[in-house]
Structure 1
Amino acid sequence: RSRLTLPEEQSKVFLLFSCLQRMFLETYARWQWLVHWLPRLRALGTSHPVDTSVIGAFTADFNIAADLLRIGCPVWLVRPLREKQATPIHRIIPPLDETFHNRLPLRMSEFELDLADAEPPHRLLFSG
């Protein structure tokens, strides 16, 4: 019998799908960088407004942060707490902890994303 007709374990199917999804998202992000962001970076002397539709990038390097901000990419500048006095801080955002109750606040919106398990559970799509 063909391997395509044999059922697989649910965990293996999920693993393969998540690997495929990750490869797709990484490839899409690289394509976006080449098509959208790199031309802006190469155009010296230009500045773009920050695109709030993207998550942005984390960096500890001031030069990288300046370049990304110039091309309109949101930047999260990560600095050691000991440098707090020397770094101008506009806003401190605390990390999420156990008290967030599976609710993630959405940026630039009053809505929250519910990350809790469905109650009652979602219907079963696969069993194997």
Structure 2
Amino acid sequence: MDIKPLRTEHDYRSTLERIEGLMTAEANTPDGDLLDILVTLVEAYERKYFPMELPDPVEAIKFRMDQLGLRPKDLEPMIGRSNRVYEILNRKRPLTLKMVWQLHKNLGIPAESLVKQPENVCVR
């Protein structure tokens, strides 16, 4: 098993190719163990060199609504009355901690995405 840190773009690409060849490996076999190790190395490299910024909270909500086929009315149990839902979706009001908790719990939106300071809301 030839494993080394990923230091260059070439190391990264080569490792991705090795992973592709191991995708059918069964768990708890030498190839399965190698696959786990290589995936861990690639994830660390990507976190370092390709960091992903969290989405805007409103965009995260709209994306999840689209995924689940929800309408603004469906958010009322989590956010409040329809006028409050539209204030949130139109960036007129920031999310409260209770709203964040409810959206996370009921829609599975990562809390980290919901607590990020929105781009166009004046937070006091």
Q: TM-score range by the shorter chain?
A: under 0.3
More strand by proportion, 1 or 2? 1
- TM-score, scaled to structure 1: 0.24
Q: Which has the higher contact order (CA 8 A, sep 6+)?
A: 2
- TM-score, scaled to structure 2: 0.25
More helix by proportion, 1 or 2? 2
